[in-house]
Amino acid sequence: MTNWFYCIYGISYLVSGVYLLVTVFGWYKPKHKTEEKAKSYEHFYKKYNTFIKIGSVFLILRGVFVLIN
């Protein structure tokens, strides 16, 4: 039963890390309802660009580590 928890944690780490990595590099740009939301989104990623890149790589590695062990 507890093995499923590790699979869920590993997959969630991996998916969130890949999503952050893809969005921060601009390969995927979500659609926004208003122009204000789009500007807010761009400002956030410009401000925290480096931190998100490092964090996303950490999340991906953590997810792979949890899934392997």
Each residue of 7-65: pLDDT tens digit?
A: 899 999 999 999 999 988 888 878 888 899 889 988 988 899 999 999 999 999 999 99
d(CA 57, CA 47): 18
pTM to 2 decimals?
Answer: 0.81
Structure tokens at 10: 């590993």
Position 53 scores a pLDDT of 92
Position 16 scores a pLDDT of 95
Position 60 scores a pLDDT of 96
